[in-house]
Amino acid sequence: MITGEIKSKVDRIWDTLWSGGISNPLTIIEQLTYLLFIKRLDELHTLKENKANRLRKPIEDPIFTPKQDRLRWSRFKETSPDEMFTTVRDLAFPFIKTLGQSASGEGDSTYSHHMKDATFMMPTPRVLANIVDQLDSIDMADSDTKGDLYEYMLGKIASAGQNGQFRTPRHIIQLMVDMTAPTPKDKICDPACGTAGFLIAASEYLTTHHGDAIYKDTASRRRFNEGTFHGYDFDSTMLRIGSMNMLLHGVENPDIRYKDSLAQTDEDDSEKYSLILANPPFAGSLDYESTAKDLQRIVKTKKTELLFMALFLRLLQTGGRAAVIVPDGVLFGASNAHKQLRQILVEDQKLDAVISMPSGVFKPYAGVSTAFLIFTKTNSGGTDHVWFYDMQADGFSLDDKRSPQPAARQVRPPRHPPEVENAEN
């Protein structure tokens, strides 16, 4: 979990940009992401350098050429504010925009596609130098620290919680990924991917548990980098951040693209995926006219949570599985549409598990009660038993602070009910 010291540093960085004239929280995150990305590229290049020096061989797949040495974070951070500003604005930033881009423009990666419209918006050399100095003081060698840092920054978005958009805590994402246990054969999709947290967690799971299978040959590596991960979103800034996030985590060319999942019918995506991991936005109701007609055929409703469930069923292959977060209304709603959807899950598909989460999990965004469902698309039923689990706590306080909590002490139950013991005494 991110420490108070790092939170204070992020707060100071935030204030520096705010006072420098950048007031949109999402723009602040985007600009900081560019700098973190440049910093991480330098760290990866340094690792390659150290390995080459140990083996006394040339650097394998260097990120920077000798002529691009001045673009490295460790080099320009030592220069004057004016020189640093010129280097980052005119050289380093254009460099990261063209990563994965071919000379002809054909076969460009999704990352380079989303970066074409990226803009460097640091207001002055003084502000940039201040931000670089503060970011450099944060030790991000631990991947958990980087993830927690990102979550804390995302939590500062003023609009978070509006339109039903809640950032999913990383430990909840990890739990959902562990319970579905992705394999190298899976085609994984998040139809509301945001910053790609579920896809990144799935890629880390695969690397940890199936690294030998992923990297055994060129075809396997290509499938991992280009054919395994698929994400949609209709926020171009989130697509840029998600693409950078995936690239930093070693996935070179995931299929991350602009799409309004509930409004666009795409037959190419029907029954395409074997695993769906998602926490889609639950914005209330949509007009029938703005919703894909094939979703309305599954369940006629304006409720976004039910429409997303219909979307998951459309996207999954027969035999495919899903772990998705839903508001409690999906479980207990009394409308005909709610009942129809539950009937579809239980009678037509295979509902495997319902894990109810405490209402504070999504604080400070909101105190909504949620659960996540695990189900398998069978189109032939198969729900014999459903595993219900009531999560009383998730390791953090359920208030706005979300402070880490010590593990609960196990108390042995009395040998007899208390009234019996009292009677005996």
CA–CA gap between residue 177 and residue 198 (Å, rounded): 8
334 with 240, same domain: the answer is: yes
Q: Are residues 178 and 316 in the same domain?
A: yes
- pLDDT at residue 131 greater than cutoff 60: yes
Both 180 and 58 in a single domain?
no
pLDDT tens sequence across 96-113: 988 866 555 555 677 778
Query: How does pLDDT run across 284-318, given as a tens digit for each residue?
Result: 666 666 677 778 888 888 888 899 999 999 999 99
Domain annotation covers residue 424: no
**Neighbour-count burial for 147-167, b at 16+ CB within 10 Å, e otherwise:** bbbbbbbbbbbeebbeebbbb
Instruction: Say yes or no: 134 and 186 in one domain.
Output: no
Q: Is residue 269 situated within a structural domain?
A: yes
Q: Is 331 found in the same domain as 225? A: yes
Other Cβ atoms within 10 Å of 342 Cβ, number: 17
Whether residue 399 lies inside any domain: the answer is: no
Query: Residue 99: its pLDDT value, please?
Result: 82
Average pLDDT over residues 123-145: 84
- Domain assignment present for 191: yes
pLDDT, averaged across the chain: 84
SS (H, E, C) the chain: CCCHHHHHHHHHHHHHHHHCCCCCHHHHHHHHHHHHHHHHHHHHHHHHHHHHHHHCCCCCCCCCCHHHHHHCHHHHCCCCHHHHHHHHHHHHHHHHHCCCCCCCCCCCCHHHHHHCCCCCCCCCHHHHHHHHHHHHCCCCCCHHHHHHHHHHHHHCCCCCCHHHCCCCCHHHHHHHHHHHCCCCCCCEEECCCCCCHHHHHHHHHHHHHHHHHHCCCHHHHHHHHHHCEEEEECCHHHHHHHHHHHHHCCCCCCEEEECCCCCCCCHHHCCCEEEEEECCCCCCECCHHHCCHHHHHHCCCCEHHHHHHHHHHHHEEEEEEEEEEEECHHHHCCCHHHHHHHHHHHHHCEEEEEEEECHHHHCCCCCCCEEEEEEECCCCCCCCCCEEEECCCCCECCCCCCCECCCCCCCCCCCCCHHHHHHHC
Total domain count for the chain?
A: 2
Q: Let me know the angle formed at the C-alpha of 377 by 374 and 381, rounded to the nearest 5 degrees.
A: 100
Reported as a single tens digit per residue, the pLDDT across 148-186 is 676 677 666 644 444 445 678 888 999 999 999 999 999
Do 337 and 249 share a structural domain? yes
Q: At what angle do helices 4-19 and 25-55 cross, to 10 degrees?
A: 120
Find the CATH number of the domain harbouring 222. 3.40.50.150
Please report whether residue 137 resides in a domain: yes
- Is 61 among the domain residues? yes
> 63: buried, middle or exposed (CB in 10 Å: 19+, 13-18, 0-12)?
buried
Of 24-33, 72-81, 136-145, 215-224, minimum mean pLDDT range: 136-145
For residue range 335-375, list pLDDT tens digits in order. Answer: 999 999 999 999 999 999 999 999 888 876 667 789 999 99
255 and 290, same domain (yes or no): yes
Q: How far is CA 166 from CA 90, 267, 397, in A?
A: 36, 29, 18
CA-angle at 110, arms to 104 and 113, nearest 5°: 55
261 and 128 together in one domain: no
Is 194 within a domain? yes
pLDDT in tens, 243-261: 888 887 888 889 998 888 8
Q: Name the pLDDT band for 391 (thresholds 50, 70, 90).
A: very high
Long-range contacts, stretch 64-69, CB < 8 angstroms, 24+ apart: 68/95
Same domain, 139 and 166: no
Task: Please give the residue range of the domain that contains residue 304.
Answer: 161-390
Residue of 326, 334, 319 whose CA lies nearest to 304: 326
Residue with the bigger pLDDT between 422 and 368: it is 368
Average pLDDT in the 70-76 region?
96
Is the separation of the CB atoms in 196 and 238 below 8 Å?
no
Could you tell me if 198 and 123 lie in one domain?
A: no
Same domain as 327, residue 213: yes
Instruction: Choose one of 95, 114, 143: the last residue of a domain.
Output: 143
Task: For residues 264 and 222, state if they share a domain.
Answer: yes
Q: What is the pLDDT of residue 159?
A: 42
pLDDT score for 361 = 87
Residue 311 inside a domain? The answer is: yes
Q: Domain with 107 in it: what CATH number? A: 1.20.1260
pLDDT band, residue 415 (cuts 50/70/90) = very low
